[in-house]
Amino acid sequence: MSDTSGWGPQPGPYGWHPNPWGPPPPPPPKPGVIPLAPLGVDHVLGGTFATMRRYAKPLFGTAGAAYALLAAVMTAALLLAYAATRDHFHALYEPGATFSWEHGRPLLLAFGAVWATGLLASLAVNSFIQAACAATLHEAVLGRPAPFRAVWRRAWSRTPAVTGVTLLLALILLLPLAAFTLLFVSFFVTVLTDSTAPFGLVFLLFLLVLPLAAWLYVLFAFAPAAAVLESAGPLTALRRSARLVRGAWWRTFGISLLAGVIVAIVSLAFRLPLQFAAPQPPEVTPDTDTSELLFDQLRSQFGLYALLGLVGTLLTQLLATLFLPLVTALLYIDRRIRKEGLAHTLTAATQQPAPPSAHR
């Protein structure tokens, strides 16, 4: 895959301005999935769908392999936790057993370690997929091939930087997240004590903090793309994102929100038919045999309907995981074109021969 060092900050403005005293200018070049000019909403969304269609192998291949690796890690962690606490597990769940910390503490520690492993592994996998989206888009914009191996190698090398961006952004959003958590805690306190004062105060705080969280999230939305396409470190990527979003916050927010709505509509379009086709729960009567009831419930949970639901959930999750980072990365490129004249650099790059790695 080609070096991304040429995607660093570029001097000078850029735009496609018609000449009022002469013939209309030629259309901007379009070597890949987008024209090399300031992008409209149709170009951003169309370029995203075109990238997913033309570069399905590197995108869906890397994402599928990453999720398969995540599933293997979680399965191994669960098996190890069960093997280490098997005796304690059976001691708690054998007939007539009562809870005791002698057996409960090892179970909590073991499966708490599984939860922490899953959290860290999910963070790494999601960061890797974001890096793979940006690495694939780098070649898609130039109209070059993006081999699976090259995308994997480039994404893997930038995964630590994207992970650092994600962790820093989580720290920045810690106050809004704390307010959101406090809102739920106060809701349960309100339900248990029949007092509305704590919930009302926290809800007001949440309404005040929510716009701040949205503003910060959009302000640093371009940081993962900058970490990959400019080979920037986490702090540098966050600063780059803030500079690029400045002056276009509402546009970035609106198009990102539209992309989220598209993903939600696609998800609902698949889930609603399954909801109507869901099997009816077995009818329970005083004479119903318990084993027969459990068998019917298992059959409904693990039958064809459950398989279709699982496949649909995985596909919609995969779509959201790829679609949203691609939209954000294209918005990043659009801002670079508008503010820094990146289109000139991209046009020059298309006139150079592709590196040997792009043909493998």
Using the predicted structure, report yes or no on whether residue 302 has a pLDDT greater than 90.
no
Tens digit of pLDDT for each residue in 180-212?
A: 666 666 666 665 565 555 556 666 666 777 788
Q: State the pLDDT at residue 246.
A: 92
Q: State the pLDDT at residue 12.
A: 46
Distance CA 220, CA 86 (A): 45
Q: State the pLDDT at residue 105.
A: 75
Average model confidence (pLDDT) across the chain: 79
> Do 141 and 333 contact (CB within 8 A), yes or no?
yes
Report the pLDDT averaged over residues 48-65. 92
Q: Which pTM does this prediction carry? A: 0.78
Distance CA 31, CA 329 (A): 18
Q: Report the percent of the chain where pLDDT is more than 70.
A: 67
Position 287, amino acid: D
Banded pLDDT at 10 (limits 50, 70, 90): low
> Do 123 and 108 contact (CB within 8 A), yes or no?
no
Of 99 and 74, the one with more pLDDT: 74
**Which tokens sit at 166?**
């994600």
Of 17 and 237, the one with more pLDDT: 237
- DSSP annotation string for 175-233: HHHHHHHHHHHHHHHHHHHT--HHHHHHHHHHHHHHHHHHHHHHHTTTHHHHHHHS---
Of the ranges 98-112, 299-313, 317-331, the best mean pLDDT one: 317-331
Banded pLDDT at 230 (limits 50, 70, 90): very high
Distance CA 4, CA 228 (A): 8
Residues 6+ apart with CB under 8 A from 131: 154, 155, 156, 158, 159, 161, 162, 224, 227, 228
Distance CA 333, CA 222 (A): 9
Of 299 and 27, the one with more pLDDT: 27
Q: State the pLDDT at residue 25.
A: 73
CA atoms within 13 A on the CB side of 53: 8
Using the predicted structure, report yes or no on whether residue 296 has a pLDDT greater than 60.
no
Q: State the pLDDT at residue 203.
A: 66
Delimit the domains of the chain by residue range. 5-15+29-175+223-279+295-359
Placement of tokens 């909801």 in the chain: 275
Banded pLDDT at 15 (limits 50, 70, 90): very low
Question: Which of these ranges, 39-43, 69-73, 158-162, 269-273, has the smallest mean pLDDT?
Answer: 269-273
- CA-closest candidate to residue 314, choices 77, 71, 130, 56: 71
Of 226 and 350, the one with more pLDDT: 226
Inter-helix orientation angle 174-193/197-219, to 10°: 160
Of 341 and 193, the one with more pLDDT: 341
- CA-closest candidate to residue 271, choices 240, 233, 302, 312: 312
Other CB atoms within a 10 A radius of the CB of residue 244 amount to 25
Question: Which of these ranges, 87-96, 134-143, 146-155, 331-340, has the smallest mean pLDDT?
Answer: 87-96
**Which tokens sit at 322?**
């790829």
Report the pLDDT averaged over residues 303-310. 60
Q: State the pLDDT at residue 183.
A: 65
Q: State the pLDDT at residue 192.
A: 59
